[in-house]
Amino acid sequence: MRRFYIVTNRSKDAELKYTYSIIAYLKEHGAEGIYDEDSAAVEGTKYCYTNAEVMPDDVDCIIVLGGDGTLIQAARDLNERNIPLLGVNIGTLGYLTDTDMNNVYDTLNNLIDDKYEVDTRMMLDGKIYRDDKVIYEDVALNDVVLSRRGILRVIDFDIYVNGEYLNSFAADGVIVSTATGSTAYSLSAGGPIVQPNARLIMITPICAHTLTQRSIIFGQDDEIVIQINDNKKLSEERVATYDGESYCNVVTGDRVVITRSDKTARLIKTSRISFLERIRNKM
């Protein structure tokens, strides 16, 4: 690898100290680091640090400086380019990132010398139908979540898998996640931790009004449909969110259809830290 594009979370590197130190190091070692300070963030978005329109075509790797949220944002916004991403943690948790600023220069040496692996992560497509027409669609690396808004106490919904009725739920919502997303919101809602390379779709209800709340795991090629039912007591305030980034308000009768996406996230791995060791250190 010789040509790197850098995405920086400006709230974590406000003065671009880390960004320009990486650019300088790459230059010293015969490589190039590219960062567009003026147009790296999309105008009018407070926490958006990725803009595919300003990224050059001939890039070997995208270096993402931030935390898990910044890496997920880059994986979603830049996935059309199919370029591998290196996550550099300058945040707090950094579960998905491969390295941090204490070790980033060793990592860059490995990339320049082509000593790395690419971990391909499954993503989800989520389409929202109203009157049989798609009103919104997006992709997610972690999860697609249906949740309540405002004063709505519970959401009533049915879930179908491959056209077959699964169950009806009264809950605060439901999380449909990938294996990557098993260590995110799904974990907080009581879902299991899954090896991140596993190809599956997991359903985890959020605070369901039942004595038998459990996550359910399906195959990667299954289709999950969430049918929004009527809530007779309160106003319709529900929302579908994608990785906590993008969202669409939904109403009674809407359907959220979730399937495996043709798009993937390609995460660079140079660290020798195993999946189990990462769980012990980060969870």
**Residues near 180 by beta carbon (within 8 Å), at least 6 away in sequence:** 96, 121, 122, 141, 142, 196, 265
Backbone angles phi, psi at 48, to 5 degrees: -100, 125
DSSP assignment string, 4-70: EEEEE-TTTSTT-HHHHHHHHHHHHTT-EEE--TTTSS-TT-TT----GGGS-SS-SEEEEEE-HHH
222 is catalytic: no
Length of the chain counted residue by residue = 283
Distance CA(73)–CA(278), nearest Å, equals 22
**Residues near 27 by beta carbon (within 8 Å), at least 6 away in sequence:** 33
**Residues near 53 by beta carbon (within 8 Å), at least 6 away in sequence:** none
Residue whose tokens read 């860059």 = 108
Instruction: Name the residue among 81, 80, 44, 42 with its Cα closest to residue 61.
Output: 81
Q: Which of 13, 38, 60, 68 is catalytic?
A: 68
Alpha helices in 152-212, H assignment, sequence order: 185-188
**How far, in Å, are 76, 132, 155, 242, 278 from residue 239 at the CA level?**
19, 18, 10, 10, 32
Beta-bridge partner residues of 69: none
Which of the residues are catalytic? 68
